[in-house]
Amino acid sequence: MQIAERLTKIPPYLFMELRKKIAKAKAEGVDVINLAIGDPVEPTPDGVIEELYLRAKDPENHCYPTDEEKGMISFREEIARWYLERYGVLLNPDDEILGLIGSKEGCHHFVLGRINPGDIVLMTDPGYPAYRSSILMGGGEPYSMPILEENDYLPVFEDIPADIVKRARGMFLCYPNNPTGACATRDFFDRVVKFAKENDIAVCYDNPYSEIVFDDQERLSFLSAEGAKDVGVELNSLSKPYNMTGWRIGMAMGNPDLIAAISKVKENTDSGVFNPIQYAAIYALKNEETNIENMLNIYARRRDLVLKTLDRIGISFKPPKGTFYLWVPTPDGMNSIDFTNLLFEKAAVVVAAGTAYGEHGEGYIRISLTVTDERLKEAMERIEKEFA
Ligand SMILES: *Cc1c(COP(=O)(O)O)cnc(C)c1O
C-alpha cells in the first residue's frame, strides 16, 4: 500500500541499528539502562489520581468535553491564575487560552492553523524532532537555525539568509531547551518579538520545561515580553512538571487570532480533552506545587551525580541551567554516534546521540535524569569503571 508523500518526507528514525542492538542485548539478558528518554519515572501525585477517579465516577462527565475543543472555562481560568502568579503574564481565558492534548498537539496544530504550502518555518538545530515532522505534515518547509554553545545556544537571526526570512511565516523556539538545557533571557525575548514583527513571522514558543530550572535561573514565559502576544503563542504542558506525560494535557496561550486558528483545527480534529482529565489538571495546577519542588530537588541531586562522574572521566563543561537533560560534549573529539555506541557496548548504558537533534548536535550526547536514583547510580558506576 502506498502511503502519503507527506509522511515519506519525515526522516526515518536515525538509530535503528542501536535500537536493534538494545533489543538483542535485552533478549540475551543484559541489564540495559536507558538514559535516552525524557519521561519522569516518579508517579503522578496521588491527589491528581484521586481527582481523576472521583470525576470519572460522575456521569455528568461522561459526555463530550464541556466547552468542547477550547477546554472547560474553569481549566482556562486556572491556567490564567497559574500564568499570572508564576510569570506575571495576564491572559484572558475567553480568547487567549486553549486546552490541548499535550504541547506536542499544539506544535502540530500551530502549523496547520498558520502555514500555507511552501511557507518556511524556522526551527533550531539541534532541536526537538517533532517540530520538523509537524512542519512537513502541515505542508511547510523547515529551515534550521544553528544554535551553538558560543552563542549560549540561542539562534542568531542576522545569520539567516534574506530570501529565507522573506518566505518565513512561522518559527519554533523552546527554552529551557530540549536537548541543550539552555535557558533564554528577557533580552532574547525582545529580539524575538522585534524580528517576528518586522518579518511577519508567527512564533510558537514551546515551553514545557518552564518550571524545570536550577541554581539561580529565573522561570520565564515568552509571553512576559512586551509585544509577545502580538506575534505568537506559548505552549505549556502538565507532562513534565507534574509527572503526567501519559495523561496528554497541555495548553496554548497568547495571540487571539492564533488561538482561534488552533481552536478551529481542534474543532475539526478532536473534541477536546475528557473532562475528568481537565479536572485532574486543575487540581495539579492548584495543589501540586510541592511536587515540582520535590522533583527539582531530585533532578538537582542526579545532575550533580552525573556531572561529578563525567568530571572524573575527564569530561568537564559548564552545564546550562534548564530541563532534566544534560547536553554533554563527547570526549577527545569523538563523534556522537561512536560515543553512544561505546557507552552501550562497554556499560550497557543508552544515551541519545546529539545528531538525533540535528547536524549541530554532532560532538554531544544527551543524558536524561528521569530514571530512578538507583539506576542512575548504577549507570554512573559502570561508566566510571569503564572510562576512568
Ligand atoms: C516533552 C516535550 C514535549 C511534549 O509535551 P506533551 O505536552 O507531553 O505533548 C513538547 N516539546 C518538547 C520540547 C518536549 O521535550
Q: Above 80 in pLDDT, residue 89? A: yes
Distance CA 201, CA 25 (A): 47
pLDDT in tens, 333-386: 899 999 999 999 999 999 999 999 999 999 999 999 999 999 999 999 999 999
Check pocket membership of 370 for ligand 1, CB cut-off 6 A: no
Last residue of one domain, picked from the residues 272, 288, 304 = 288
Report the atom number in ligand 1 closest to the C-alpha of 245: 8
Indicate whether 109 and 233 sit together in one domain: yes
Indicate whether 22 and 136 sit together in one domain: no
Last residue of one domain, picked from the residues 246, 271, 288 = 288
Report the atom number in ligand 1 closest to the C-alpha of 174: 13
Ligand 1 geometric centre to CA of 104 (Å): 5
Indicate whether 116 and 91 sit together in one domain: yes
Indicate whether 152 and 242 sit together in one domain: yes
Q: Above 80 in pLDDT, residue 149? A: yes
Residues 246, 41 contacting (CB under 8 angstroms): no
Q: Above 70 in pLDDT, residue 42? A: yes
Indicate whether 86 and 122 sit together in one domain: yes
Q: Above 80 in pLDDT, residue 2? A: yes
Q: Above 70 in pLDDT, residue 212? A: yes
**CATH number, domain with residue 247:** 3.40.640.10
Q: Above 80 in pLDDT, residue 83? A: yes
**CATH number, domain with residue 13:** 3.90.1150.10
Q: Above 70 in pLDDT, residue 14? A: no
Residues 378, 348 contacting (CB under 8 angstroms): no
Considering only CA atoms, give the Rg of the chain: 21
To test ligand 1's pocket by mutation, which of 79, 124, 204, 206 has the most ligand atoms within 8 angstroms of CB? 206
Last residue of one domain, picked from the residues 232, 255, 288 = 288
Q: Is the peptide bond before 146 cis (omega within 30 degrees of 0)?
A: no
Check pocket membership of 242 for ligand 1, CB cut-off 6 A: no
Indicate whether 238 and 353 sit together in one domain: no
Indicate whether 309 and 363 sit together in one domain: yes
Q: How confident is the model at residue 68 (pLDDT cuts 50, 70, 90)?
A: confident
Indicate whether 122 and 236 sit together in one domain: yes
Ligand 1 geometric centre to CA of 91 (Å): 22
Distance CA 325, CA 179 (A): 7
| Domain encompassing residue 140 | 46-288
To test ligand 1's pocket by mutation, which of 125, 128, 270 has the most ligand atoms within 8 angstroms of CB? 128
Indicate whether 9 and 24 sit together in one domain: yes
pLDDT in tens, 278-335: 999 999 999 999 999 999 999 999 999 999 999 999 999 999 999 999 999 999 889 9
- Span 141-170, mean pLDDT? 98
Q: Above 90 in pLDDT, residue 19? A: no
Q: Is the whole model's pTM more than 0.95, yes or no? A: yes
Check pocket membership of 208 for ligand 1, CB cut-off 6 A: yes
Indicate whether 132 and 242 sit together in one domain: yes
Check pocket membership of 206 for ligand 1, CB cut-off 6 A: yes
Q: How many domains does the chain have?
A: 2
Residues 370, 296 contacting (CB under 8 angstroms): no
135, 103, 92: which is closest to 38 by C-alpha? 103
Check pocket membership of 93 for ligand 1, CB cut-off 6 A: no
Indicate whether 321 and 352 sit together in one domain: yes
Ligand 1 geometric centre to CA of 103 (Å): 5
Ligand 1 geometric centre to CA of 308 (Å): 28
Distance CA 126, CA 178 (A): 8
Check pocket membership of 136 for ligand 1, CB cut-off 6 A: no
Indicate whether 24 and 53 sit together in one domain: no
Residues 272, 226 contacting (CB under 8 angstroms): no
Higher pLDDT, 15 or 214: 214
Ligand 1 geometric centre to CA of 312 (Å): 32
Average pLDDT, the chain: 96
Report the atom number in ligand 1 closest to the C-alpha of 237: 7
Q: Above 90 in pLDDT, residue 20? A: no
- Span 253-271, mean pLDDT? 96
Sheet holding 97-100, edge to edge: 97-100, 250-254, 232-237, 202-206, 168-173, 120-125, 141-146
Distance CA 224, CA 212 (A): 18
- Span 200-215, mean pLDDT? 98
- Span 168-195, mean pLDDT? 98
Q: Above 70 in pLDDT, residue 275? A: yes
Report the atom number in ligand 1 closest to the C-alpha of 206: 11
Q: Above 90 in pLDDT, residue 66? A: no
Q: How confident is the model at residue 97 (pLDDT cuts 50, 70, 90)?
A: very high
